[in-house]
Amino acid sequence: MKIAITGGAGLFGRGLQAALAEEHEVVSLTHADLDITDSVGVRRVLTRISPHLVVHTAALPDIDYCETHPDEAQRVNVEGTQNVVTGTAALGAGLAHISTDAVFDGKKSTPYIETDATNPISVYGRSKLDAELAVQEYERHWIFRVSVLFGPGKTNFVSKAVARVRSGQKHLAASDQLGSATYTLDASRKILEVVEAKKYGLYHLCNSGPCTRMELAEQAIIDVGMNPGMIEGVPGETMGRPGPRLKYAVMEMRALRKAGFEPPRPWQDALRDYIAKYESSHGKSE
């Protein structure tokens, strides 16, 4: 299968390439290769590649940046996605779209399921929800909502914490934001499994088990053999970030189970695997 990945230089794009390239022909498209806001260019590039599957990861993923640049968030996350949908549909290829838990409002106290009402509280969340609606207009689609990402190839939440603690500094992490974590390699393999089964639809996709940002950072520091006391838990609102975060964003992977798939392994196991492979190959934090 020939797979085109938009946002190939991003964290998820790199994870997809690493996980899928062994068995499939993968064309990773960076922004230099494909500007998703250029509708004519998107169609031209996708037509030239002629993929069987497009995995759409390209987006403005920074919640704070989107909050202060709403027009750009609309142009990239919504209009850009519409262009990818149009270009993919012209080829009759499958489209797997990467979305986010930020489409919810964080007011639940039990895990979010795929059929729960959406109510984003940030510009980023609203733009990603509008992108989902655009994707749903195309019959051959999959939507995968992911949460806090970590994985090889690019700086991420975990590698930032490790780098700061290794430099001898305390690292602040929100102690009151309970959600899910997603190892890009595990998620990429699960996406391929669902796509190959041609079970279209909307899925929550993350590693199993809830965690706060503080717990995720602490476990990473433990796994690299450093002092978890260097992680300081603080209320999220004290961190002075413009984009609002969800206090509760745990996702249940009900649709995956209903479709006959096992959810990815616990986040602790995935984190340990990431740390072990990362440390052996790099020897220092990204």
Among 65, 112, 124, 183, the active-site one is 124
In three state form, how does the secondary structure of the chain look? Answer: CEEEEECCCCHHHHHHHHHHCCCCEEEEECCCCCCCCCHHHHHHHHHHHCCCEEEECCCCCCHHHHHHCHHHHHHHHHHHHHHHHHHHHHHCCEEEEEEEHHHCCCCCCCCECCCCCCCCCCHHHHHHHHHHHHHCCCCCEEEEEECEEECCCCCCHHHHHHHHHHCCCCEEEECCCEECEEEHHHHHHHHHHHHHCCCCEEEECCCECCEEHHHHHHHHHHHCCCCHHHEEEECHHHHCCCCCCCCECCECCHHHHHCCCCCCCEHHHHHHHHHHHHHHHHCCCC
Asked about 124 being catalytic, the answer comes back as yes
Residues with catalytic function: 124
